[in-house]
């Protein structure tokens, strides 16, 4: 059976998230790979990929909060909401200070409704919105509820080559947000709150949950030694079971459990269906299953170990 676990990739700008997985297939000799959280073509940064049975856990990874940085270009807007797209609006020159920008950012923290970009992977009548946009079709993007934990300005006045419109100010912003957030749309909406238009560049994802891009590897440098165990990426509590208990879990049955499991109370996360999830490990400490902890028992949910 193929090795199971997570791989932390540092995707380069200009490479699709799908193409970023090619080294995994080669190194681990399997087609059973996947990833959590697609990055735009021109974005860079952390992708958490999985191989083998660990692919079953990707929805839990994708549900984690994420941290990005991006450059906001004020003064023009493009069809893709990226700095080098076709200009659809050129704004008048305005003086926007860092203080003015910081004054509108609180409008975009907490639970907010966001309209995704027209160029995105959201499905409209069975096809990606970007496919319809490229064909010149008229369609409506419906707003989605997202959560922005924090926004802060981390720099200003940066230069990005290849801007297709005339910008009059640039700011670098850090954002911590939920699954489903479009950074390009966030930049558009912040610009509009300032009374102008805008687009973004240099989107980079630095963190997913507790995992930082500093621990990631470029695809060309990937080896089998970079495989991470599931508990190194997901922070579910670990309970150790004896051989008899593990045999019951393996067969899909629950076991009695009278001891409290620290950290298995209502686990924090938005829409990640991770209430009271625990890793069940064998006597050697090897995680074999994801289980749901309930008062008085542990119930199997996803088996990760090898078949007998």
The catalytic residue positions are 40
Q: Which two tokens stand for residue 126?
A: 């069975």
Measured CA distances, 237 to 65, 262, 278, 300 (Å) = 19, 7, 5, 14
Q: How many CA atoms lie within 13 A of 256 on its CB side?
A: 1
CA distance 178 to 200: 19
What is the helix (H) or strand (E) element at residue 205, kind and residue range?
strand 198-208
Separation of alpha carbons 266 and 30, rounded Å:
36
Q: In this structure, which long-range contacts are made by residues 260-264, counting pairs with CB atoms below 8 Å and at least 24 apart in sequence?
A: 261/237, 261/293, 262/237, 263/237, 264/236, 264/237, 264/293
CB within 8 Å of 225: residues ≥ 6 apart: none
Q: Which of these, 3, 81, 90, lies nearest to 42 by C-alpha position?
A: 81
CA distance 7 to 11: 12
- Alpha helices, H only, the chain: 22-28, 58-62, 98-104, 129-134, 183-193, 243-250
Structure tokens at 204: 């980079």
Residue 52 to residue 5: CA distance in whole angstroms:
7
- Give φ, ψ of 292 to 5 degrees: -105, 125
**DSSP strand E in 21-128: where?**
33-36, 44-51, 66-74, 76-78, 87-90, 110-114, 123-124, 127-128
């Amino acid at each position: 059976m193929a090795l199971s676990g997570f791989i932390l990739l540092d995707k380069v700008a200009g490479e699709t998230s799908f193409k970023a997985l090619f080294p995994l297939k080669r190194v681990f000799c399997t087609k059973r790979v996947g990833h959590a959280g697609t990055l735009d073509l021109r974005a860079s940064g952390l992708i958490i990929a999985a191989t083998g049975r660990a692919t079953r856990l990707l929805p839990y990874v994708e549900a984690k909060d994420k941290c990005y940085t991006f450059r906001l270009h004020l003064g023009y807007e493009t069809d893709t909401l990226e700095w080098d797209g076709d200009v659809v609006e050129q704004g008048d020159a305005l003086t926007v200070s860092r203080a003015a920008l910081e004054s509108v950012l609180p409008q975009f923290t907490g639970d907010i409704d966001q309209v995704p970009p027209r160029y995105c992977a959201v499905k409209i009548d069975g096809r990606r919105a970007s496919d319809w946009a490229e064909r010149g079709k008229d369609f409506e993007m419906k707003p989605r509820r997202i959560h922005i934990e924090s926004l802060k300005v981390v720099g200003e006045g940066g230069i990005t080559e290849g801007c297709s419109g005339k910008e009059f100010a640039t700011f670098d912003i850090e954002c911590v947000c939920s699954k489903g957030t479009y950074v390009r749309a966030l930049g558009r909406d912040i610009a509009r709150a300032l009374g102008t238009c805008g687009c973004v560049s240099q989107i980079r994802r630095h963190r997913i949950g507790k995992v930082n891009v500093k621990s990631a590897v470029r695809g060309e440098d990937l080896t089998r030694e970079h495989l991470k165990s599931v508990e190194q990426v997901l922070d579910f509590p670990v309970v150790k079971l004896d051989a008899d208990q593990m045999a019951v879990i393996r067969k899909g049955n629950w076991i009695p459990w009278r001891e409290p499991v620290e950290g298995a109370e209502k686990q924090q996360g938005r829409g990640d269906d991770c209430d009271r999830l625990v890793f069940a490990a064998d006597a050697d400490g090897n995680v074999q299953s994801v289980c749901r902890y309930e008062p008085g028992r542990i119930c199997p949910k996803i088996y990760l170990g090898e078949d007998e």
